[in-house]
Amino acid sequence: MKFFGTDGIRGRMGEEPITPVTILKLGWALGRVLAEKNGHRGAVIIGKDTRVSGYLLESAIEAGLISAGTDVQLLGPMPTPGIAYLTRTARAHAGVVISASHNPYSDNGIKFFSPDGEKLDDEIEGAIEAMMEETMQTVESSELGKARRYPDAAGRYIEFCKSTIPARYTLEGLHIVLDCAHGASYHIAPLVLEELGAKVITIGDDPDGFNINAGFGATDTQALRQAVTENKADLGIALDGDADRLIMVDKLGNEVNGDQLLLIMALARKARGSLKGGVVGTVMTNLGMQQALEAQGIEFIRAAVGDRYVLDLLKQKGWQLGGESSGHIICLDKTTTGDGIIAALEVLRVMLDTGKGLDELASAMQVCPQVMINVNVPRSFDIKSDSTICNAVKQAEKTLGSDGRIVLRASGTEPLVRVMIEGVDGQQVRSECESLAGVVREAVVAFNSLHG
């Protein structure tokens, strides 16, 4: 597609397609497609994270929707999974998320949720793109949409998060450091934990429009690890800018990633007889997680990278639990998308049930050495068509043999190629990954010289 990637539309603010004019047209196209599909004007919910460009894009897409005759309800700063939840419970015809998730403040993006609180399917995204080729026409004044603030959006989502663990559980006695990444959860996640009884120290909770994800959150846990050890806390919780990712830190200051957290949940669900089917991971999921699951007789399958693909496989299999190493974890029996707060509550429940610390629970997985190097590339660069890269991959696979695994893929959200190698020999894994990343960099230099 021209605009939509694996996770909506994303890019640098001020550059196509993240410009006011294009986002205005996008809102109009969404409104027109929804009107044609549903036969009436409908209503759309709009939420955003805390980056400064959110104000501009919110106004642009709101104007586009209203010009198509669609009513709008504004949530303000709200975690992406909260927008999905409120889209579903408000019976809206779509939800709009203005966020670039874990990216820096200079980026932004748009993604849509269906009335069921799930990512829009490719067919509707295709219809929106086709509509954007049409000439924009505003409806008659009598048919214009209206906008209003959604009442107590934060409070409704807070109560929903708390409801996902049984009422008999209390977090009293737990000392938690919470990192909100200066993002959309800054006014929500602390209240969820505090109202459940935890003693909470919050960092990364002072957004200024520019500091989202900068040195805080799920993509950079150094500040959280330091805060946990300095405050002698029981654990740390790190969310990303739009709070759909979760990374945790144990009391010793060790990071516990999405694979380890997913394994903790799966083993606990099996122990209490509530694991439905198996677990869905991705091509990036550590081999150690797969081995630990299979040792317990739990089926495991891999999806392409992206929580929408994890969700697709979960629905196909009729399973409930899946996620990514990066911390996107889907508990499909509780919500419709990855939710960092809800995933954290499930892990805390396991700690309460077992009386074990996060460090002990995480030790159930023997992590295989895995190295990933990101290489900046032009957006038009195609790794699959470069013979030098393909030959280098084949040579690395031959060197690693059956003890290793290589994943080379273009990011769906950033102009990057991710080079990942996994194996049993950590030194060999790093050496091969650095070598392959070097080949990719050289190919990019050659590509740039040819294409100016």
Active site members:
101
User: Around Cβ 297, how many Cβ atoms within 10 Å?
Assistant: 8
- Cα angle 36-41-46, degrees, rounded to a multiple of 5: 105
- CA distances for 222 relative to 50, 255, 260, 382, 426, angstroms: 21, 9, 18, 34, 23
Write the CA distances from 387 to 60, 391, 395, 435, 448, integer angstroms: 43, 6, 12, 16, 16
Note the maximum CA span of the chain.
Answer: 69
Query: In which element (H, E) is residue 82 found?
Result: helix 80-89
| Bridge partners for 301 per DSSP | 280
Neighbours of 228 (CB within 10 A): 27
Query: Around Cβ 316, how many Cβ atoms within 10 Å?
Result: 11
Task: Quote the Cα angle for 419-280-2, to 5°.
Answer: 55
Is the bond leading into 17 cis (omega within 30 degrees of zero)? yes
Here the tokens at position 137 are: 């026409």
* Burial of residue 331 (number of CB atoms within 10 Å: 0-12, 13-18, 19+): buried
Show the tokens assigned to 170: 């209390």
- Cα distance between residue 359 and residue 368, in whole Å: 17
> Is the dihedral angle over the CA atoms 111, 112, 117, 120 positive or is it negative?
negative
Long-range contacts: 294-299, Cβ < 8 Å, 24+? 296/267, 296/270, 298/266, 298/267, 298/270
DSSP H or E run through 376:
strand 370-376
Sign of the four-CA dihedral 266, 270, 275, 279:
positive
Number of DSSP helices (H) and strands (E) in the chain, helices first: 14, 18
CA distance 39 to 380: 39
> Residue 333 and residue 354: Cα distance in Å, rounded?
22
